[in-house]
């Protein structure tokens, strides 16, 4: 198809919901099935009533039941400049930290989105599905920002997804990050409790700010190593809001190195001169109960080489006097 022609369009689809898919919201079901279609378009066809369940309209938060028949209208798929439908070209090379019949833990590299959309043709989950065509179920348990690296959980069964989501809601999953922040953070432990409000700019870009009208958000910051003008900290997220670690760090006057959205330009320039070309935020540890047998699982990811090299280039680090790290 030449450029300028109509984009590739799919035919009407009818999907009968089985026990494996039952219980999930219809919007999440469509997002998982319509790979490469922007979320904004999926919510638009839901609002317009073009998606039907058992021949009737449905709200985005409708929970599917076994036996439901979902009608998915013809979709115009995004195209490249050459008129080809955009989709996963080849799965990214991923390091698997843990895997069994219920879940897998992936070591996500920085720069890789967890899912396609918003100008991104494909993400980690689409690549993972493409590399495992026989897998009947692969869904993200949680998300990491595109520029954040580290531990990411993917459920291989719906029962595992629901169990892990329950642990997330009850704050039973311990999520810890390593970050480099501006300035010398000398307090032993700082707990930041600042509600976060998410909104979109005119460009469509997501933005988050501290606001009393936002949702409750709590983070703990523990200094590990003090440098001349920066500090390596461990961040424990007690809630899971969008951009939480980055906004809470900036709110505490210690923005994260390499953060071009909420960070400090001069600080970013100084670490860029030392070779940092990414956000210094790494999800290094997840602790939770196994969704099937309840055993305690600890998933760990080592600090990426480029971040470790930056710490080495900062010179002799001194442990925080308060915590002995």
Specify the CATH number for the domain of residue 220: 3.30.2350.10
**Same-domain pairing of 38 and 172:** no
In a domain, 150, yes or no: yes
**Same-domain pairing of 62 and 108:** no
Q: What is the CA radius of gyration of the chain?
A: 21
**Same-domain pairing of 169 and 251:** yes
CA distance 77 to 71: 17
CA distance 247 to 110: 18
CA separation, residue 125 to residues 128, 143, 255, 281 (Å): 5, 10, 29, 21
Look over the chain and give the mean of its residue pLDDT values, rounded to a whole number.
85
**Same-domain pairing of 183 and 263:** yes
In a domain, 61, yes or no: yes
**Same-domain pairing of 136 and 279:** yes
**Same-domain pairing of 66 and 124:** no
Within 10 Å of residue 2's Cβ, how many Cβ atoms? 6
In a domain, 250, yes or no: yes
**Same-domain pairing of 121 and 63:** no
- Percent of the chain whose pLDDT exceeds 90: 57
- Does residue 5 carry a pLDDT above 60? no
CA distance 232 to 227: 8
pLDDT at 12: 82
Its domain, for residue 47, covers 13-72
Within 10 Å of residue 28's Cβ, how many Cβ atoms? 17
What are 318's strand-pairing partners?
A: 226
CA distance 236 to 219: 6
Across the range 123-147, mean pLDDT stands at: 89
- What is the enclosing helix (H) or strand (E) of 163? helix 158-169
Evaluate whether 297 touches 98 at the Cβ level (below 8 Å).
yes
**Same-domain pairing of 65 and 114:** no
CA distance 206 to 196: 13
Instruction: Pick the closest to residue 112 from 58, 148, 141 (CA basis).
Output: 148
> pTM, whole model, 2 decimals?
0.74
In a domain, 3, yes or no: no
| Residue tagged 């065509």 (tokens) | 133
pLDDT at 180: 98
| Residue tagged 């439908």 (tokens) | 85
Name the more confident of 173 and 187: 173
Name the more confident of 221 and 136: 221
Residue length of the chain: 325
In a domain, 1, yes or no: no
Instruction: Pick the closest to residue 243 from 288, 194, 276, 284 (CA basis).
Output: 194
In degrees and rounded to multiples of 5, residue 97 shows phi and psi of -85, -30
Q: Determine the straight-line distance between the first and last CA of the chain, rounded to whole angstroms.
A: 60
How many structural domains comprise the chain? 2
* Residue-wise pLDDT tens digits, 12-49: 888 888 877 788 889 888 887 776 677 778 888 898 89
User: Catalytic residue positions?
Assistant: 145
């Amino acid at each position: 198809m030449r450029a300028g022609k109509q984009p590739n369009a799919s035919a009407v689809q009818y999907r009968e919901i089985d026990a494996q898919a039952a219980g999930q919201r219809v919007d999440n079901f469509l997002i998982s099935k319509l790979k490469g279609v922007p979320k904004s378009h999926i919510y638009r066809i839901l609002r317009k009533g073009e998606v039907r369940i058992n021949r009737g309209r449905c709200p985005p938060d409708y929970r599917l039941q076994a036996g439901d028949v979902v009608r998915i209208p013809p979709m115009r798929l995004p195209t490249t400049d050459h008129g080809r439908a955009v989709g996963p070209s080849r799965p990214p090379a991923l390091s698997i930290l843990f895997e069994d019949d219920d879940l897998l833990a992936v070591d996500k590299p920085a720069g890789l989105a967890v899912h396609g959309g918003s100008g991104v043709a494909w993400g980690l989950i689409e690549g993972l599905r493409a590399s495992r065509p026989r897998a009947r179920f692969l869904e993200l348990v949680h998300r990491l920002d595109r520029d954040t690296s580290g531990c990411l959980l993917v459920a291989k069964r719906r029962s595992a997804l629901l169990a892990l989501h329950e642990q997330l809601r009850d704050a039973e999953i311990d999520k810890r990050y390593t970050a480099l922040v501006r300035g010398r953070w000398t307090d032993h432990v700082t707990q930041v409790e600042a509600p976060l409000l998410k909104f979109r700019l005119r460009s469509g870009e997501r933005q988050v700010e501290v606001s009393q009208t936002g949702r409750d958000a709590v983070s703990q910051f523990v200094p590990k190593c003090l440098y001349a003008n920066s500090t390596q900290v461990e961040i424990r997220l007690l809630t899971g809001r969008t951009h939480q670690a980055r906004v809470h760090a900036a709110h505490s006057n210690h923005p994260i190195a390499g953060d071009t959205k909420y960070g400090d330009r001069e600080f970013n320039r100084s670490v860029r001169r030392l070779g940092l070309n990414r956000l210094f935020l790494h999800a290094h540890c997840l602790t939770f109960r196994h969704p099937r047998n309840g055993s305690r699982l600890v998933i760990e990811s080592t600090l990426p080489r480029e971040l470790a090299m930056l710490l080495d280039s900062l010179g002799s680090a001194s442990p925080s006097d308060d915590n002995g790290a």
